[in-house]
Structure 1
């Protein structure tokens, strides 16, 4: 389910709409990196292309993180390019 969530990024409030599964992964990544969720989202926000909305940038970040941790042979067998 897509849920609208509010958080502060560098002192200003913003809302994002993102699926629960992606939100949980973002929280796990922040914990693994010993960072707050707001800090992680601020970093992703700063690095995203101007034409990419924040919710999409967050999803792409999670996808990149997850696929980077899958052994190479498993990625090839998963149907991903």
Structure 2
């Protein structure tokens, strides 16, 4: 197997669609497992629920869909951490 194909297969993370209640209404969000795990970790660090964290992300987004807003939030969280 060529190296690029092997690497692509190793990096592939299936998108998982999950239901979550935010601001009193149920919605579904599709994210890769790595983003779900990171989002849960951030919620624990902030001592908040996953639903409340997603609600704050949802309330702060200017455009795009919620899944994209969550991915950008997680990326920003890890980029801004002290090294």
TM-score by length of 2: 0.81
Q: 2:76 aligns with which of 27, 47, 64?
A: 64
Cα separation, 2, equivalents of 1:69 and 1:31: 16
- Superposed, 1:1-80 pairs within 5 Å as 1-49=14-62, 51-71=63-83
Cα separation, 1, equivalents of 2:80 and 2:16: 26
Question: After TM superposition, which residue ranges in structure 1, 4 or more long, deviate above 4 angstroms?
Answer: none
Cα separation, 2, equivalents of 1:10 and 1:53: 16
Alpha-carbon shift at residue 2 of structure 1 (Å):
0.3
Runs of 5+ unmatched residues, structure 2 = 1-13
Q: CA RMSD in A?
A: 0.8
